[in-house]
Structure formats: structure tokens, C-alpha cells
Amino acid sequence: MLTIVRIHNELLGTYGDRGNADVLAFRAHLNGIAAEVIDISYLETLPKSADIYLMGGAEDAAQALSLSALQNGGALASAISQGATLLAICAGFQIIGESFTDGLGQEIRGLGLLNVRTTPGEQRFVGDIKVKASFLDCEFTGFENHGGRTILGEGVQPFGNVLVGHGNGAESVDGAISENVFGTYLHGPVLARNPEFADFLLAKTTGQSTINYVDDLAVEYARWRRSVTK
Ligand code: GLN
């Protein structure tokens, strides 16, 4: 059974990224893989033994609260070191970095799972975004809505090169990746907009090369989105 944990949706659910879990479970089933989605609130203990962990975007206060809950116990770091996959969107991406600035202007130490740092920008980036993925021969579309600017440190690669929109707001790249940890500014939800990415994460997590169910409607929709995002 593939276990997908949706982390703190009551805090990190502002931008609808909860759909990433549903897309993964749906596409796992299409490929004959039994999957379950478990919601873990910030009042509960995060399990260490799940296969995929997901975090979404949030407003600043909710983001800080989610971080403080995740600092207890180190479950996420432990799961990742044992090979679990983590996909973190926007506020989630900032939380798993080295540091970000909270709504009161204070620099906060993040979980340190990705070597990135986020600081406030002068204006908020809101709108469509398209990137060329760094790990798949594919363009991904999404929607961004954030005030933070993110700088990559050593040991991480960008999630993608920005073709339309802003992403990290520096060096024309979006997000960051290190092994099984993926951070990006793409809402959408990103896995609903880009089924290739969902299948990539399923293949990487399960080690199965048989993630090959062709979902024609999803592919057609993703292509159309790419063609109109300019
Ligand atoms: N609060 C963060 C920012 O504005 C993240 C926003 C989001 O998750 N969409 O940068």
C-alpha cells in the first residue's frame, strides 16, 4: 500500500494544493497500485513510515504555525532520509528551506531539508507560470501567488527554468530539488495540471517502471494549458 500523507491541510490548504494527494492516489490506482491518503493535522504526530509527503501553500501566520509543529520530533527529516518523497508547494517549499521571513519581518529558521533561503520581495508575484522541468523533458504550468524570493544554495538544483512568470524571483528559475525532495512555487494543483509529474513521482517512489497508463484527457488538458500559458 502506497501511503500519501497530506501535511497540515487545515494550515497549508489555502491554495487548493490538497488536490495533489488526490491526483497521486487516482493515478496510482490507474496503474494498479493500491494507495491511501492520510490527513495529518498540526495537532497530530506525523508518521515516519509513509511513502509520499505533501505540503501546500499558506498565508504567513499559518506557515509559521505549521513549521513550529513540524519542528517537534523530526519525523519528516527521518522519513526523507529513509527514502520517502516530499513535494512542497510555495509556503511548504519555504518551510523546508534553511530560512524564510515571517509576516512580522523576523527571519525564521526552516526545517533545513533543502538548502534555500527566502526573503520578502518588493512586490507579490501573482499569475500564470510555466517552467521547463530540470528532471523531465517536459514543460509544467501552474499558478503562482507569493511575496517571497528564494535563493538556492549549494547542493540543490532548480525545479525548472522559468519560461513565463517569476518562480523564485532570482536567476530565472523556480523551486529546488535535492534527491527525493521537491519544492516549487507552482499551485494548480501542480499534479492536476501536469500528470507527467505525478507519474514521475509515483515511479520514483515505488521504483516501478510500469507507470504507463495513458490518461488521454489529462494529457490533452495539460497540453492545452501549456499552449495558452505565454
Ligand atoms: N506566505 C508565503 C509568501 O507569500 C507563501 C505564499 C503561498 O504559499 N502561496 O511568500
Active-site residue among 90, 138, 146, 166? 90
Q: What is the pLDDT of residue 132?
A: 98
Contacts of 201 (CB under 8 A, 6+ apart): 24, 52, 85, 87, 182, 191
Amino acid symbol at 4:
I
Section 195-208 average pLDDT:
95
| Residue 29 among the catalytic residues | no
pLDDT, mean over the chain: 96
Q: What is the pLDDT of residue 171?
A: 95
141-188: pLDDT as tens digits: 999 999 999 999 999 999 999 999 999 999 999 999 999 999 999 999
C-alpha dihedral sign at 44, 45, 46, 50: negative
Predicted confidence (pLDDT) at residue 213 exceeds the cutoff of 90: no
Does the pTM of the predicted model rise above 0.85?
A: yes
77-122: pLDDT as tens digits: 999 999 999 999 999 999 999 999 987 889 999 999 999 999 999 9
Q: What is the pLDDT of residue 208?
A: 86
Q: Atom of ligand 1 at shortest distance to CA of 90?
A: 8
Q: Which residues line ligand 1 (CB under 6 A)?
A: 15, 57-60, 63, 90-91, 145-148
Q: What is the pLDDT of residue 209?
A: 77
Provide the Cα torsion 79, 157, 165, 19; round to 10°: -20
State the DSSP string of 84-111.
Answer: -EEEEETHHHHHTSSEEE-TTS-EEE--
How many Å apart are CA 103 and CA 64, to the nearest integer?
9
Q: What is the pLDDT of residue 103?
A: 78
| Residue 90 among the catalytic residues | yes
Contact 130, 139 (CB under 8 A): yes
Predicted confidence (pLDDT) at residue 14 exceeds the cutoff of 90: yes
Active-site residue among 8, 146, 166, 187? 187
Q: What is the pLDDT of residue 212?
A: 80
Q: Which of 8, 11, 90 to mutate to test the pocket of ligand 1 (most atoms within 8 A of CB)?
A: 90
Tell me which residue of 148, 131, 140 sits closest to 93, measured CA to CA. 148
